[in-house]
């Protein structure tokens, strides 16, 4: 072990998770990750100009020998990319492929056992003799099978669907052979979008997004090339994220997410670079969707006296990129709990044309969702969803979903083979106290 004891420059380490003659990876007591490398490996990276953005490494001395180290927050991946189980979701997979292509602008060295440092946007080679093409690397990475190539087109993944593989193909430049038919053909929308429990929001999405994509030629004659960007706002837990997820799932377009894990960085200019990279990739793969979660974290009013130059730069970058996205067939959907805190320049027409309030559901919306949730399960006869919806007034649609699932679990625990009224009442009683009702509305 490179580290003697359990500390490194005031960082308390807990567990050694990867040991190599050139580098080691540790977990800290806070479950962050620390990478420490020998000076010979670090200097080769520096000589090869690998640090095109920022250099996150710090220098330290252990037993009179020089090492370099960095710490990565626990929500980001820091591991060797030949390590099984590195990726956990679709966003991480797409982010990895994008990072790989950025590094390919600098080096053509094999990346099979490179180090992936997600937080800082680097894949750094370890210069071994394992020469593996990116085609084979991605095949192994997504399937765990070293004999598969990404271009074979028969890769299976727990969290990637056909459209994701098509998007990875575009980003990486590796063409998939025998591509499934549904990827090759243009998407044709034959049905309307359904959002159970939210008829007004369902109607808005159909009229302002789905219908335009359904009949592009007719709308072009009317001067409308692509749907305008929208903001969903309202209190937490009222179904904004759920509604957006269902819409994107229906549209089957490539989705790019902007949230704290995808763009946050302690380094000046790095957040702006990540924002730009996500939008550029979305434009390259248009038509596509960019989803901005908790937009108040990045796009708050710049007039505040405490705002830094760094913050002003980030908002300005968003302003540029949102306008470019609107011109290049990228649908931007943003969500916020605090519309009043958003910078006025962001809210102007031409950036986000529609601001939609998503409040607590009405009794009728709750009843519609209840009827949908119980239609395919065994339930006690005589249960009146109209009465149940009154008991759930002031609750979110997420609460309604929880009640039915929790009632099923309670019924199962009690040895029943159907959901009982008593179990539903017990589930309702386990919810927090009643919240203030708010409506869905449309702002300017």
Domain 199-357 top-level CATH class = alpha beta
Is pLDDT above 50 for 439?
Answer: no
Bridge partners, residue 354, by sequence: 230
Highest-confidence range of 19-23, 161-165, 184-188, by mean pLDDT?
19-23
Q: In which band, very low, low, confident or very high, does the pLDDT at 444 lie, cut at 50, 70 and 90?
A: very low
Is pLDDT above 70 for 254?
Answer: yes
d(CA 365, CA 435): 16
pLDDT at 274: 77
Is pLDDT above 50 for 33?
Answer: yes
302 secondary structure, DSSP code = T
> Minimum mean pLDDT among 37-46, 94-103, 327-336: which range?
94-103
Is pLDDT above 90 for 242?
Answer: no
What is the average pLDDT across 5-25?
84
pLDDT at 303: 63
pLDDT at 435: 47
Tell me the domain boundaries of the chain: 7-72, 87-184, 199-357, 363-429
pLDDT at 339: 87
Looking at CATH, the fold of the domain delimited by 363-429 is given as: Helicase, Ruva Protein; domain 3 (1.10.8)
pLDDT in tens, 54-78: 899 999 988 889 999 999 998 888 9
- Give the strand order in the sheet containing 58-62: 7-8, 11-19, 23-28, 33-38, 65-72, 58-62
Q: What's the whole-number average pLDDT of the chain?
A: 82
Q: How many CB atoms sit inside 10 A of residue 170's CB?
A: 14
What are the structure tokens assigned to 351, written together? 């950036």
What is the average pLDDT across 121-126?
92
pLDDT at 119: 87
pLDDT at 43: 95
pLDDT in tens, 134-155: 888 888 777 666 667 888 776 7
Q: Which residues lie closer than 8 Å to 120 by C-beta, 6 or more apart?
A: 53, 54, 56, 70, 72, 265, 267, 270
Highest-confidence range of 3-12, 84-93, 291-300, 323-332, by mean pLDDT?
323-332
User: Does pTM top 0.85 for this prediction?
Assistant: no
Residues 356 and 261: beta-carbon distance below 8 Å: no
d(CA 394, CA 173): 50
What is the average pLDDT across 289-316?
72
348 secondary structure, DSSP code = S
Provide φ and ψ at 258, rounded to 5°: -115, 115
Domain 7-72 has CATH 1.20.200.10: no
> Minimum mean pLDDT among 86-90, 208-212, 425-429: which range?
86-90
3-state secondary structure 254-276: CEEEECHHHHCCCCCCHHHHHHH
Residues 77 and 87: beta-carbon distance below 8 Å: yes
Q: In which band, very low, low, confident or very high, does the pLDDT at 309 lie, cut at 50, 70 and 90?
A: low
Largest CA distance in the chain: 79
What is the average pLDDT across 181-205?
75
Is pLDDT above 80 for 168?
Answer: yes
What is the average pLDDT across 338-356?
85
pLDDT at 312: 74
């Amino acid at each position: 072990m490179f580290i003697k004891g359990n500390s490194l420059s005031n960082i308390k380490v807990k567990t050694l998770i990867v040991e190599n003659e050139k580098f080691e990876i540790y977990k800290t007591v806070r479950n962050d990750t620390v990478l420490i490398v020998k000076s010979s490996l670090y200097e080769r990276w520096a000589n090869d100009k690998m640090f095109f953005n920022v250099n996150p490494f710090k220098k330290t001395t252990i037993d009179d020998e020089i090492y370099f180290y960095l710490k990565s927050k626990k929500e980001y991946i820091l591991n060797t990319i030949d390590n099984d189980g590195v990726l956990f979701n679709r966003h991480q997979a797409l982010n990895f492929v994008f990072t790989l292509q950025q590094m390919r602008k600098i080096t053509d060295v094999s990346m099979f056992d490179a180090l992936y440092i997600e937080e800082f946007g680097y894949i750094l080679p370890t210069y071994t003799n394992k020469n593996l093409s990116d085609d084979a690397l991605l095949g192994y990475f997504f399937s765990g099978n070293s004999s598969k190539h990404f271009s074979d087109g028969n890769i299976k993944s727990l969290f990637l669907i056909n459209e994701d593989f098509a998007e990875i193909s575009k980003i990486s430049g590796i063409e998939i052979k025998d591509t499934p038919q549904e990827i090759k053909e243009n998407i044709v929308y034959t049905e309307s979008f359904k959002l159970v429990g939210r008829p007004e929001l369902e109607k808005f999405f159909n009229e302002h997004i789905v219908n335009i994509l359904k009949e592009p030629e007719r709308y072009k004659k009317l001067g409308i090339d692509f749907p305008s960007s929208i903001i969903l706002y309202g209190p937490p837990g009222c179904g904004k994220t759920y509604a957006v997820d269902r819409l994107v799932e229906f549209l089957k377009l490539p989705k790019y997410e902007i949230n704290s894990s995808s763009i946050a960085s302690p380094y000046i200019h790095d957040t702006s670079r990540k924002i730009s990279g996500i939008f550029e990739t979305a434009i390259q793969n248009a038509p596509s969707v960019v989803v901005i979660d908790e937009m108040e974290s990045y796009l708050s009013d710049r007039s505040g006296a405490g705002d830094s130059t760094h913050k002003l730069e980030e908002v300005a970058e968003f302003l540029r990129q949102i306008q470019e996205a609107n011109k290049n067939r990228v649908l931007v959907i943003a969500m916020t709990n605090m519309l009043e805190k958003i910078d006025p320049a962001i809210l102007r027409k031409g950036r986000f044309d529609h601001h939609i309030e998503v409040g607590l559901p009405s009794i009728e919306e709750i009843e519609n969702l209840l009827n949908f949730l119980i239609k395919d399960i065994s339930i006690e006869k005589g249960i009146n969803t109209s009465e149940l919806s009154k008991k759930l007034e002031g609750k979110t649609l997420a609460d309604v979903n929880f009640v039915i699932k929790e009632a099923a679990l309670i019924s199962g625990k009690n040895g029943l083979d159907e959901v009982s009224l008593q179990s539903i009442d017990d589930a309702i009683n386990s919810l927090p106290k009643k919240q203030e009702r708010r409506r869905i509305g449309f702002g300017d």
